[in-house]
Structure 1
Amino acid sequence: MSKFTLAIVAGASAAVGAATTAALFGIGGRRGRETNTIPVSSTVTTAPIDPTRTIPPPPVPIRRDDPGVPAVPPVDPSGVFQYGFPGPVADLRAAPSLTSSFDRARRNPHWVAEHITPASLMLNNGNRRHSVFAEDLSIPEKFRAKLTDYQRSGFDRGHQVPAADAKWTQEAMDATFALSNMCPQVGEGFNRDYWAHLEDFCRRLTTFYPSVRIVTGPLYLPKRDVDGKWKVSYEVIGHPPNVAVPTHFYKVVFGEDGKTGGKVSMAAFVLPNAPIPNDKPLQDFEVPIEAVERASGLEFAGLLPPVRRKKLCQEVSCSIIVKQYEERQRNPFNPPPLKGTPPPTTLTER
């Protein structure tokens, strides 16, 4: 999906959502008429009932300055909270190597944030062979993804924060193996290939920036159906099927210059959850951060003043290095080239 298409899709999704909400809940033309009205108490006289009507007539509007209006509202809608707060609940998780917010409805994270530095990547005290995939027991059982949900699903348990970014302690690495840090991802051609190359690109940024922050998460984007209408459609896996398979994934990257109040170089990428040829340029997937925000309903840099913002892909060449997994593990610090230099490629047989 191109940058322009993503922006259109995100905008179209917002417009369609607003129109649908208005249609379902009657928002729009009534708003102006209700500005000076309040709910009618049981003592207020209503309009005569038309015997031909099968439903009660609407209440007679009463002005706010009407002396018959009670000083205390006759109803308490928030009283339902005495039985429990309906939600949504974000299930924030703070672990040594990540911070995340969980989407109970789709059994996937909303977002997962990490922080990597040259020092954190140099340490090698964690071994993924000692880590095991595990359900996140901090999430209520009926909402969490389970190990059995991925069995024979055809999808990988795709790390949002990769284990290779958390080798500084075994505890940090273990935290990345909780299913709340996973989404169903296509394996060959994506999770084990292009997506892994993107993760490698993010690590290589630490040779240029002393501090790199990354927010990763799933998207469920609409596409035009044969009838010309935009629709959101995604597979669901599990037993029972309740873990959503994202249509796309995003990464929002912040390259910090290490100075208090310094500049922050930013870039956002959106990739389809599908096989991607290794010769596909990474910049084909770069999109405005605002497009990711509109599509996800999240905000990533609302408190960062424009004067501090820079464009990351204007400072370094946003390109991947294609290499096998073992080679990526041995050479995590091949730096991204500066802008204007040809991107390196290391093609290997797969």
Structure 2
Amino acid sequence: MSKFTLAVVAGASAAVGAATTAAIYGLGGSRRQTPETQSVTTTTTATRTGSPLPAPQRDGPHTPGPIVPPVDPSGVFQYGFPGPVNDLHSAVSLTSAFDRAKRNPHWVAEHITPASLLLRNGDRRHSYFAEDQAIPEKFRAKLTDYARSGYDRGHQVPAADAKWSQEAMDSTFWLSNMCPQVGEGFNRDYWAHFEDFCRRLTSFYPSVRIVTGPLYLPKREADGKWRVSYEVIGHPPNVAVPTHFYKIIFAEDGKTGGNVSLGAFVLPNAVIHNDKPLKDFEVPVEAVERASGLEFAGLLPPARRRRLCDEINCSVIVKEYAERQRTMMTPPPAKSGQAGTGLAQR
């Protein structure tokens, strides 16, 4: 697919029932970024009585020298920095940035390897959904927001990707790693199959990095105009319901300065039939960047980029929800040429 616009991305999703990493590098352990504020100067305020302020003088042939501004807009910083503030979170199993306005993450990044998926030290039966106490109370998503909403608390980084320790698994259950997702037909079905596809990539790549997050894409209304419309859940309404979700996949060959196979996918937050080809949701990375306002691969030189679906058969394996709940995840499949992988190198 070439040269996507937001309208094209949204329109492509309509066919399945919905109207439709550079930022990762260099993140420290700090919980938040606090923008530096410049020094504040005090300005003189005119009173209602007294002489009026003189009109500002413009530069011209008879007014040499730079103009001295009669105002100081940055003086508002003395009362606090308005934002936006991205709540950066670095945990053992994920790194994320939180959107305070929509009470959803901007993005959540994870890293999986064959070794990390083989470990079984975490058990989701010991994990509990929890509000993220590090986010200010007035901005965080709450457990009550999801109660009787009709939506699942949809993991952005799956718990099944963090079985290597109980602490790692527990951190995937914070609501800052959640978005409202359609349950049956999406979160419990096609989206879960997609997550399984990502895990199976470790059969061919020694290192797989994934960035996942929500999108709010426009829909064409009856009057022919495009508008962004999404539901908000909670009492009072707090948490935005995304119209779509994206995954950016960086499949690394494991060599220093080696090649990276890139894959970008946008799925509607709606029921998707299991026979829908995954490649129907493949889009250019640039399309997700334009839609989200984020950048994912600005530091990856074109010479090192490969297209994931040119190297791997991008398709999902359908596993019924009840069976998946019993097994949680099959062991990573063997490499190409052995049965049962569901993936094949081209």
Specify the TM-score bucket, using the shorter chain as the normaliser: 0.7 to 0.9
Which position in structure 2 is the counterpart of 1:116? 112
Is 1:331 aligned with 2:308?
no
Given that 2:58 and 2:67 are in contact with CA atoms closer than 8 Å, whether structure 1 keeps it comes out as: no
CA displacement at 1:224 relative to structure 2: 0.4
**What is the SS of the residue equivalent to 1:218?**
strand
CA shift at 1:332, angstroms? Answer: 3.4
Pairing 1:170–2:169 present: no
Say whether 1:43 aligns with 2:64.
no
Match of 1:131 in 2: 127
Q: Give TM-score scaled by structure 1 length.
A: 0.80
Give runs of aligned pairs for residues 1-350 of structure 1, distance below 5 A: 7-9=5-7, 42-44=53-55, 62-63=58-59, 67=63, 72-324=68-320, 325-326=324-325, 329-334=328-333, 344=342
Pick the structure with greater CA Rg. 1
Q: Distance in 1 between matches of 2:127 and 2:183?
A: 20
Contact preservation (8 Å) 1:205, 1:335: no
Indicate conservation of the 8 Å contact 2:279/2:314, yes or no. Answer: yes
**1:117/1:210 contact within 8 Å kept:** yes
What is the TM-score with the length of structure 2 in the denominator?
Answer: 0.81
Structure 2: unaligned runs, 5 residues or longer: 11-51
Change (3 A) 1:65 1:320: farther
The structural deviation recorded for 1:9 is 1.4
Identity %: 72
1:11–1:148 distance in 2 versus 1, CA, 3 Å: closer
User: Cα RMSD (Å) of the superposition?
Assistant: 2.6
Instruction: State the Cα distance separating 1:334 from its structure 2 match.
Output: 2.6
Shift of 1:329: 2.6
The structure carrying a bigger helix percent of its residues is: 1
Deviation at 1:43, TM superposition (A): 2.8
Secondary structure of the residue aligned to 1:333 is coil
Task: Determine the C-alpha separation between the residues in 2 that align with 1:116 and 1:343.
Answer: 17
**CA shift digits 1:88-142 (9 cap, x unpaired):** 0000000100000000000000000000001111111000000000000000000
Which ranges in structure 1 are unaligned for 5 or more consecutive residues?
13-40, 46-60, 346-350
Aligned residues: 299
* Poorly superposed stretches of 4+, deviation over 6 Å: none
Q: In structure 2, what is the Cα distance between the partners aligned to 1:255 and 1:326?
A: 27
Secondary structure at 1:331's aligned position in 2? coil
The code of the aligned residue for 2:130 comes to: A
Contact kept? 2:196, 2:329, Cα under 8 Å: no
Mapped to 1, the partners of 2:342 and 2:159 lie a distance apart of 25
Letter in 1 for 2:333: N
Residue 343 of structure 1: CA displacement?
8.8
Cα distance change of structure 1 residues 210 and 310 upon mapping to structure 2, 3 Å threshold: same
Give the distance between the partners of 1:304 and 1:5, measured in 2 at CA: 20
SS at match of 2:78: helix
